[in-house]
Amino acid sequence: MPTWISAALQSKLENVSRAALRERAQAISERYRAGGNSDVIRSEFDALAYAVVRMPATYAAVRAALAYCVEIIPEFAPQSVLDVGAGPGTASWAAVDAWPSVRRTALADSNPQLLELARQFHNSATASDFDVTLMRGNISASLGDTPTAALVLASYVLGELAATSLDHVVGNLWKLTDALLVIVEPGTPAGFKRVLQCRDALLASGAHIIAPCSHDGLCPLSASDRWCHFSARLPRSRDHQITKGARVPYEDEKFSYLIAGKASADVKRGRRILATPKVTKAAVTLTLCAPGTPAECVIARQRKDAYKAAKRYDWGDAIKS
């Protein structure tokens, strides 16, 4: 995460019992895994425990998704952001890092403790060059008077909705979008299923899919045992390790995402790599997004320049040629 967020979070951890923080973080995680939502966060201490455990991984996933967007549309320079289900502002901070052009961001969330933590982050010494508006309300009921924004973010929040209301909420988000809508969900089969449902609804509304899809046709994994997801590796701070009870100094956050745009029909999306490339001395094999079924692309060693370039490709990259 950016230094100013890490420093602000660290300052709040002074004189805080790590054992108590870990106990509360584990309780919150168990409630979430049992189908709970942010209502389980009921105090400042709860919000802090949640931020220590989940904020780094959520930030890494959102920032990775936005990096793909920057690569595809380098000229995009949003000044306004709407972050729905914002929590402590994680996605907004990732957007500000990706686009220094951002001048104002609106954070909407139903949990007052998380919004207060977001306010404190923004008030930290080096984060004062953009304005933040905090709006308390439920994602499915509080969007009517919300101003539009160039960039609308919905990260790790759609899982709190009933499947029957998802299309309606995504439709509302699309109406509030002036340029791009970014959706990030956990990289699980359930998270991917929600992303697929959003994709169908947005295409029906005339949206252009920017990423990760290479096309607007049937998703090649929609009827597969596999699911479209990606991975972001992040280092764990000592407090992160202690609070999560983790032994390794890093974490791999799996995520699914979707970026939809208005007036983006001419964007060169490339072909997205859907799995870790298989590299041997004889060839590099890539699994690529394509209509109908994933395409296998084999680049033989005899094609020296292409083989050398392919060895640098990674899961999630888009091949432009």
* Among the ranges given (22-36, 38-52, 106-120), the one the predictor scored with the smallest mean pLDDT: 22-36
210 and 229 both lie in a single domain: yes
Q: 246 in helix, strand or coil?
A: coil
Torsion angle defined by CA atoms of residues 27, 33, 38 and 39, in that order, rounded to the nearest 10 degrees: -70
What is the band of 299 on the pLDDT scale with cuts at 50, 70, 90?
A: very high
Q: How far apart are CA 86 and CA 102, in angstroms?
A: 16
What is the band of 304 on the pLDDT scale with cuts at 50, 70, 90?
A: very high
163 and 238 both lie in a single domain: yes
* Among the ranges given (72-76, 125-129, 227-231), the one the predictor scored with the smallest mean pLDDT: 125-129
What does the DSSP 8-state code read for residue 244?
H
98 and 222 both lie in a single domain: yes
* Among the ranges given (236-240, 278-282, 287-291), the one the predictor scored with the smallest mean pLDDT: 236-240
40 and 132 both lie in a single domain: yes
Query: Which stretch, 9-13, 22-26, 204-208, has highest mean pLDDT?
Result: 204-208
Q: How far apart are CA 190 and CA 272, in angstroms?
A: 21
In-domain check, residue 9? yes
- What pTM was estimated for this model as a whole? 0.92
In-domain check, residue 54? yes
In-domain check, residue 85? yes
231 and 314 both lie in a single domain: no
Report the pLDDT value the prediction gives residue 128, as an integer from 0 to 100. 65
In-domain check, residue 48? yes
* Among the ranges given (99-103, 264-268, 296-300), the one the predictor scored with the smallest mean pLDDT: 264-268
* One-letter amino acid of 120: Q
CATH number, position 178:
3.40.50.150
149 and 177 Cβ atoms separated by less than 8 Å: yes
| Average pLDDT of the segment spanning 42-70 | 93
Report the pLDDT value the prediction gives residue 194, as an integer from 0 to 100. 96
Cis amide leading into 277 (omega within 30): no
98 and 153 both lie in a single domain: yes
108 and 46 both lie in a single domain: yes
Summarised one tens digit per residue, pLDDT across range 175-226 is 999 999 999 999 999 999 999 999 999 999 999 999 999 999 889 898 888 8
Q: 41 in helix, strand or coil?
A: coil
202 and 303 both lie in a single domain: no
275 and 257 both lie in a single domain: no
Q: How far apart are CA 51 and CA 29, in angstroms?
A: 12
| Cα 87 off chain centre by | 13
Range of the domain at 275: 271-319
| Average pLDDT of the segment spanning 27-54 | 82
With a CB cutoff of 8 Å and minimum separation 6, the contacts of 257 are 61, 65, 68, 182, 183, 184, 185, 195, 211, 212, 230
DSSP secondary structure letters along 154-167: EES-GGGS-HHHHH
149 and 282 both lie in a single domain: no
| Average pLDDT of the segment spanning 242-249 | 75
Report the pLDDT value the prediction gives residue 121, as an integer from 0 to 100. 93
What is the band of 137 on the pLDDT scale with cuts at 50, 70, 90?
A: confident
In-domain check, residue 101? yes
Structure-block tokens of residue 129? 């060059």
Report the pLDDT value the prediction gives residue 263, as an integer from 0 to 100. 80
154 and 184 both lie in a single domain: yes
Report the pLDDT value the prediction gives residue 238, as an integer from 0 to 100. 77
Q: How many residues comprise the chain?
A: 321
Residue position matching structure tokens 């000044």: 79
In-domain check, residue 180? yes
| Average pLDDT of the segment spanning 238-262 | 85
**Number of domains comprising the chain:** 2
Note every long-range contact of 42-49, with CB atoms under 8 Å and residues 24 or more positions apart, other chains counting.
42/113, 43/113, 44/113, 44/116, 44/117, 45/20, 45/21, 46/113, 47/88, 47/111, 47/113, 47/114, 47/116, 47/117, 48/12, 48/13, 48/16, 48/21, 48/117, 49/21, 49/24, 49/25, 49/243
151 and 181 both lie in a single domain: yes
In-domain check, residue 89? yes
| Average pLDDT of the segment spanning 114-137 | 87
What mean pLDDT is reported for the chain?
A: 90
What is the band of 126 on the pLDDT scale with cuts at 50, 70, 90?
A: low
Q: Which residues of 126-164 are buried (b: 16+ CB within 10 A; e: fewer)?
A: ebeebebebbeeebeebbeebeebbbbbbbbbbbbbeee
In-domain check, residue 199? yes
pLDDT top residue among 204 and 267:
204
Does the pLDDT at position 23 exceed 90?
no
Report the pLDDT value the prediction gives residue 283, as an integer from 0 to 100. 97
pLDDT top residue among 15 and 96:
96
